Structure 1
Amino acid sequence: MVLVNHILFGDPELRPSIGLSGLQGPGRAKEKQEKERSELRDLVGKNLHVLSQIEGIDLEMYKDTVLPRVLEQVVNCKDELAQYYLMDCIIQVFPDEYHLQTLETLLGACPQLQPTVDIKTVLSQLMERLSNYAASSAEVLPDFLQVEAFAKLSSAIGKVIEAQVDMPVVGAITLYVSLLTFTLRVHPDRLDYVDQVLGACVKKLCGKPKLEDSKATKQIVALLSAPLEKYNDIVTALTLSNYPRVMDHLDNGTNKIMAMVIIQSIMKNSTCISTADKVEALFELIKGLIKDLDGFPVDELDEEDFKDEQNSVARLIHMFYNDDPEEMLKIICTVKKHIMTGGSRRLPFTVPPLIFSALRLVRRLQGQEGDVVGEEEPATPKKIFQLLNQTIEALSFVPSPELALRLYLQCAEAANDCDLEPVAYEFFTQAFILYEEEIADSKAQVTAIHLIIGTLQRMNVFGVENRDTLTHKATGYSAKLLKKPDQCRAVYACSHLFWVDDQDGIKDGERVMLCLKRALRIANAAQQMATVARGSSGPVTLFVEILNKYIYFFEKGNSQVTSSAIQGLIELITSEMQSESTTPDPSSDAFFASTMRYIQFQKQKGGAMGEKYDSIKA
């Protein structure tokens, strides 16, 4: 004991110059004072280190004598730098077990330190050491519970923050980040502890404006990210009542950054969000990406950043799933409610994944009956299609008519598979209305009409009357396209609407031939227009494309397409290619040569097909 006292307090006659209280230093020149401070700090630090190594200083002696006497000197020294250094020394040189068993005593000194002491760093280092100690062996965890380490640390942090009234917000948040890190490592199963730390942070932030300080917001992001990194599951974070309350204190820009962190965590861990309530809570967390926040209009965003954010939200929607159709429909309705507040720039990103998520549910319910009566009715394809129709309609007002048209056609196919003819017809009607009223660009019209033709070709739910109505509209639109080549290709594509291989009732050879002849007339008109405009006719590509359609239907058994018709078209193409007014085109020549080789191959192969080609000269 005498040795301990000598190392701690030295010779009483020397104490004013080298003792702990001497770290205050007299009022001499600053440079000299700082030098003496440094020397005294090193001396005392070495003394503490030696003290920790002395044999015979066990936990009991440390608890009853060493720590109380050292802390007494630390508190009485009144010098902020000395107090910080000495507290740091105590934490670093003595064993972790000693700190755990004397935690209340050590923490009790913290509020008594000078208000300007960097106590957040001291406590952070203490919690880091203790959490590392807990992680070193499962055998020590009961000791943490026995001494109620979390409660003592939490209480001490609260007292320190209360005592240091001038502590910046960032300092307080840093303390809570350290406490949360400690909690997640030592008590990962105690979500109530985690929520308690978040709640204490909310209490500190309460009444303050949204954080603009970059260091403080960085610490808030660290605080919110810690549970995600620990549990690898946003669903766990959604059970924390104070989690969204902390996010509410972020400025709009940081709120969006944190929202992206949350989405990335979900995607990285393939987390499935399985209930409407969880989706509701999640969308509340990421609302900065879903809609315009006050004072942060979407127009101010960088275009690339905006696209990245909205694509992330689109991917997120695909992570919402439940095997129960009723709950899945609730999820879809919840998503719809939120994304519809996103504004015209967001809807083209967020509506498509919602539509396809709903269509996936429709496929699961395929074949079920039921009308749309009320919200209490069970989930049925008809009910979902009504929801989809309303959702897609919003895109036409954005406006984003081309995307809306594509989605209407996707829904029409799904309704076809569900054998719902009126629903499929309604979706086609909406697509045609968009085509007529909203799509004015010639290139967009070409793309749209081919999508319509391709989708209509695959439909088998329509009766004769409805199919004829839709087919008539499609062929009429095709013939009215702006450019002759586009007209020609759309018209010969319509020929497939009258001859569908897997539908015996749709094999109208005469109307197929009418489409092909009409396409030939348009191709001929295109040649003549090229001659007038340039003094030479254009390539024969359109004629070769039509020839290939003739061959296709000839092999499918369409009696209207005869070998003599094919022979006549071949002679026409050959004549055009040999004409001096025709513009040479290597690609057209190669296309025609390949087609002729195919005919020759079929003749040489023999059999029934070969006999059909015998009369054609190739």
Structure 2
Amino acid sequence: MAYADTPENAISVIKQRTALMNRCLSQHKLMESLQHTSIMLTELRNPNLSPKKYYELYVIVFDSLTNLSTYLIENHPQNHHLADLYELVQYTGNVVPRLYLMITVGTSYLAFNDAPKMEILKDMIEMCRGVQNPTRGLFLRYYLSQRTKELLPEDDSLFNSQFIMNNFIEMNKLWVRLQHQGPLRERESRTRERKELQILVGSQLVRLSQIIDDNFQMYRQDILPTILEQVIQCRDLVSQEYLLDVICQVFTDEFHLKTLDTLLQTTLHLNPDVSINKIVLTLVDRLNDYITRQLEEEPNATSPNAYLDMDVFGTFWDYLTLLNHERPDLSLQQFIPLIESIIVLSLKWYPDNFENLNKLFELVLQKTKDYGQKNISLESEHLFLNLLSFENNKLQMSSSSTASSNQSIISKKHFIFQLISKCQAYKNILALQNITLQKKVVNKILDILMDADTEELTDNEPESKLHSSRDTTHLVIEDKLQVQRLLSICEPLIISRSGPPTNATSSETNIDEVFFNRHDEEESWILDPIQEKLANLIHWIMNTTSRKQTGENKIQFSLEAQLEILLLIKSSFIKGGINVKYTFPAIITNFWKLIRKCHLILQYLLKKRVNNKTLSSHYSNLLKQMFKFVSRCINDIFNSCNNSCTDLILKLNLQCATLADQLQLGEISYDFFSQAFTIFEESLSDSKTQLQALIYIAQSLQKTRSLYKETYYDSLIVRCTLHGSKLLKKQDQCRAVYLCSHLWWATEISNIGEEEGITDNFFRDGKRVLECLQRSLRVADSIMDNEQSCELMIEILNRCLYYFIHGDEAETHISMKYINGLIELIKTNLKSLKLEDNSTSMMTNSMNDLHITGDNNIKSNTSPEDGSGSADRDTNVAVGSDGTYIQLNTLNGSSTIIHGIVATASGSKLLHQLKYIPIHHFQRTCEYIEGQREVDDRFKVIYV
């Protein structure tokens, strides 16, 4: 009997015969119905159908046979006897229709209690051997499994399991045989077709798991050995991978735990091309899910091992050792993911046991050495990056060492830090990688450690809700060794290296590699995110060591221990070469913190009147020693960076001097000021930079109080003033000297309790103040540029007014006569400035009539067509304290420093505005004097 030539025609035939079959059944014409059914089943003999098309036909046929089975059951034994009918259908001509009809009639007969169930079942499964075509045989046995699903004997689990096992074994053989049919060029297509049929075979194992239920003895003695024997003997890649995955998925976790060794040993006998790591990962996931459920049921359990009297990790470790010995050909691409899966299991079952992790990393280390570092491909580098930075792992861990009765979740930050501290093999693996990969890994580690918002990682939401009591304790460094190991891990980022990235082409270069491989010779202050992160690391370490750990294990580092850690950090970061300009300021800052802490301890001892001279002497010497360490750090920056960091070094010395002064350590403060002056004298050459440095030095000196003894202060301020008077540019000399006048006129510092009018020991010398102002005035008067000369004189006038307000004439020696004389001198110079402007557009009145009018404005005779009248009255250019011109933006409050005047129309207009700066400046000063007359009668005799 022939079958249709196309799947569409086959479907049409099946539907037609189904309709005819149903019509005959309704008329109780059973024989004719069976004849139509046999013709319909002939379509399942077509050898040209793909598995997908065959399945479509099978589904339609299954529904039709279900209708037939229902009729047979309903009419037995009134219209026919199923025993006779079972014998009758065996005379069907073709084997495929015959067996489908046998199974249909036989399973219908099994629905009755008087049927010989075991004989029928044995007969049907034996008869199925008659179909050896892989596709037809698979679907036939699948049909047998579906029909007998609810009809197996209820009281004989051994027979039932053997029946399903027998069917599974034959189906697997047929499935494997399908791979070897047809030409070799179609091998890939056959593999795809086989994967479309794999669910038919897997369904048998699902049925088997349902049959045995919780009968572990049957599973261990009969089921598992038989299944694994079939898996090993088939030697088929697709079959072995799929069946082992199904085994791990369908049977219970308890079964897997108790037969773990057997399952793992089986993987050693598989086809070499089988992906072992996928199988192990599936098994690990099941075991981890198991422990998660156990923790949900018993959240007060102190350890996951409380659920099972076996060493789960030990079993996996023995397996890994044996695997590495028997499969030395296993590539890193297969081996490393396998190790990752075992790491996940260890973290889940033994969260506090870092020795397990160290053993795993040691195995990876040995495998890497055996493999040969030069043979590591770019793909393997990616694997190492994931392994070392834990990019692929969800680090969900239950801590068994917490004081709380509830399980808490260790953060990834805690885990990474403990890993670095306790796993030496981890560091050794990292050291084997190329420098670019090392830097990437360390960079990711630092991101985790220093991220204050690092979230707790959970495998799933339900467990996250379960562990509502989380470990909120901050990470605390416990000893110096932990810091040492952390710093050794960070050495790839700390140590300066030059040259292109390893194993990377120009097209692969990214921004991280640019910063990772900067040349040491580069001295520009480009923001380097890597060095910025290292500087943050220094602060993080010191903050972590100074933090107190709450709970039973209190950890509090002593001052000496923190100092030792900071010195350890310094000795590590000195390897950074020129990069110390980024990192050493952070080290120095932490030295300052320790210095203040030491000072507080001394103050406490004095306040409590502790009669322990040895202890006081110890902290006093320690305080001075720490200042020496700071000085050494500053010198290291200078030696590493030469003259590229003079500004930084100068400021660090001045800040140290200020700190020492605040702690009443005058001699130390003097030494740091001396170092600052040395930097000024030997390393600063630009006049503008020198002026800015002197202003900063003068600001620092003016706030000191401990230098008054031993004439330290007097010698330093004289030295500062002399340097100011020797600047290259006269305008810089002038400004530096009049600013240095404040060094002889101390002002109150409210933070230390000083108050004007109450404190009577201010360092003030009015004669020296007047000398400085007179010296600066002489310099201003000698400047050839009248514009600059006038501006400087007005600035000096403002300084004179300051001293005039804040002290008596007898103290400051700044008399009204002197101020009036200075005002007249300014007016005379402004008149000269007018004469320089041939356009006669500066002022409308003669300079002899220059004064503040009723509306406080200087009138202009600028002609309307000139267009600059408003600019004369409302110039938007000012002068900074160092003489820099600043263009103001009155709309948004911003300002721009003018470095030069461009020879354009706008530049010419700006140059024209600069001529009016002294005039407007003097105008504002005169307005201030007139305003002060209302509150201070002395100003009434100052004539403007």
Q: TM-score range by the shorter chain?
A: 0.7 to 0.9
Contact 1:413–1:459 under 8 Å retained in 2: yes
**Residue of structure 2 equivalent to 1:110:** 267
**Residue of structure 1 equivalent to 2:488:** 284
Equivalent position amino acid for 1:348 in 2 = K
Shift in Å at residue 57 of structure 1? 6.2
In structure 2, do the counterparts of structure 1 residues 59 and 569 end up closer, same or farther at CA, with 3 Å as the change threshold?
farther
Structure 1: distance between partners of 2:728 and 2:289: 74
Equivalent position amino acid for 1:309 in 2 = I
Mapping of 1:178-577 within 5 angstroms? 178-207=341-370, 208-209=372-373, 212-226=376-390, 230-232=412-414, 234-237=416-419, 238-269=421-452, 271=475, 273=477, 275-292=479-496, 300-301=517-518, 307-319=528-540, 320=542, 321-322=545-546, 323-343=557-577, 345-366=578-599, 380-397=622-639, 398-399=641-642, 400-462=645-707, 463=709, 465-502=711-748, 504-526=761-783, 528=784, 530=785, 537-538=787-788, 540-559=790-809, 560-577=813-830
**Residue of structure 2 equivalent to 1:170:** 333
Structure number, greater radius of gyration: 2
Contact 2:780–2:789 under 8 Å retained in 1: no
Structure 1: distance between partners of 2:164 and 2:526: 62
Structure 2: distance between partners of 1:473 and 1:264: 48
1:291-339 CA deviation, whole Å, 9 max, x = no partner?
1469889994288998111111111111224451211221122122112
Structure 2: distance between partners of 1:180 and 1:234: 13
Shift in Å at residue 142 of structure 1? 4.0
**Residue of structure 1 equivalent to 2:87:** none
Structure 1: distance between partners of 2:526 and 2:716: 42
Mapping of 1:149-168 within 5 angstroms? 149-168=312-331
In structure 2, do the counterparts of structure 1 residues 17 and 202 end up closer, same or farther at CA, with 3 Å as the change threshold?
closer
- Kindly indicate whether structure 1 or structure 2 has the higher relative contact order, using CA contacts under 8 Å at least 6 residues apart: 1
Shift in Å at residue 346 of structure 1? 1.0
**Residue of structure 1 equivalent to 2:870:** none
Shift in Å at residue 168 of structure 1? 1.4
Shift in Å at residue 280 of structure 1? 1.6
Equivalent position amino acid for 2:565 in 1 = I
Contact 1:416–1:461 under 8 Å retained in 2: yes
Contact 1:87–1:122 under 8 Å retained in 2: yes
Equivalent position amino acid for 2:529 in 1 = D
2:177 matches 1:22: yes
Structure 2: distance between partners of 1:115 and 1:144: 35
Shift in Å at residue 73 of structure 1? 0.8
Contact 1:509–1:558 under 8 Å retained in 2: no
Shift in Å at residue 72 of structure 1? 1.1
2:192 matches 1:47: no
Deviates more, 1:570-579 or 1:324-333: 570-579
Equivalent position amino acid for 1:289 in 2 = L
**Residue of structure 1 equivalent to 2:871:** none
Shift in Å at residue 348 of structure 1? 0.7
Shift in Å at residue 588 of structure 1? 5.0
Shift in Å at residue 391 of structure 1? 2.0
In structure 2, do the counterparts of structure 1 residues 588 and 58 end up closer, same or farther at CA, with 3 Å as the change threshold?
farther
Equivalent position amino acid for 2:518 in 1 = L
Q: Unmatched 5+ residue regions in structure 2?
A: 1-157, 299-303, 396-409, 453-473, 502-514, 547-556, 604-611, 749-759, 838-911
1:352-373 CA deviation, whole Å, 9 max, x = no partner?
11111112111122285999xx
Structure 2: distance between partners of 1:339 and 1:379: 26
Contact 2:212–2:219 under 8 Å retained in 1: no
Contact 1:275–1:328 under 8 Å retained in 2: no
Classify the secondary structure of the residue corresponding to 2:942. Answer: coil
Shift in Å at residue 8 of structure 1? 3.5
Deviates more, 1:564-573 or 1:61-70: 564-573
1:20-68 CA deviation, whole Å, 9 max, x = no partner?
x536535743426435533553321233334334474644433333222
TM-score by length of 2: 0.59
**Residue of structure 2 equivalent to 1:534:** none
Equivalent position amino acid for 2:939 in 1 = Y
TM-score by length of 1: 0.87
In structure 2, do the counterparts of structure 1 residues 460 and 570 end up closer, same or farther at CA, with 3 Å as the change threshold?
same
Shift in Å at residue 474 of structure 1? 0.8
Equivalent position amino acid for 1:74 in 2 = V
In structure 2, do the counterparts of structure 1 residues 124 and 55 end up closer, same or farther at CA, with 3 Å as the change threshold?
closer
Shift in Å at residue 76 of structure 1? 0.9
1:149-182 CA deviation, whole Å, 9 max, x = no partner?
2211222233333333222123212111111122
Deviates more, 1:580-589 or 1:98-107: 580-589
Structure 1: distance between partners of 2:620 and 2:339: 47
Q: Unmatched 5+ residue regions in structure 1?
A: 532-536
Structure 1: distance between partners of 2:294 and 2:829: 89
In structure 2, do the counterparts of structure 1 residues 59 and 553 end up closer, same or farther at CA, with 3 Å as the change threshold?
farther
Equivalent position amino acid for 2:435 in 1 = N
Equivalent position amino acid for 2:736 in 1 = A
- RMSD of the TM alignment (CA)? 3.3
Structure 2: distance between partners of 1:500 and 1:426: 21
Contact 1:412–1:423 under 8 Å retained in 2: yes
Structure 2: distance between partners of 1:402 and 1:231: 37
Equivalent position amino acid for 1:176 in 2 = I
Structure 1: distance between partners of 2:526 and 2:236: 50
Structure 2: distance between partners of 1:210 and 1:281: 27
Equivalent position amino acid for 2:563 in 1 = L
**Residue of structure 1 equivalent to 2:293:** 136
Shift in Å at residue 507 of structure 1? 0.5
In structure 2, do the counterparts of structure 1 residues 460 and 11 end up closer, same or farther at CA, with 3 Å as the change threshold?
closer
Structure 2: distance between partners of 1:50 and 1:299: 58
Structure 2: distance between partners of 1:59 and 1:26: 39
Deviates more, 1:124-133 or 1:325-334: 124-133
Shift in Å at residue 432 of structure 1? 1.4
Deviates more, 1:157-166 or 1:474-483: 157-166
Structure 1: distance between partners of 2:376 and 2:179: 37
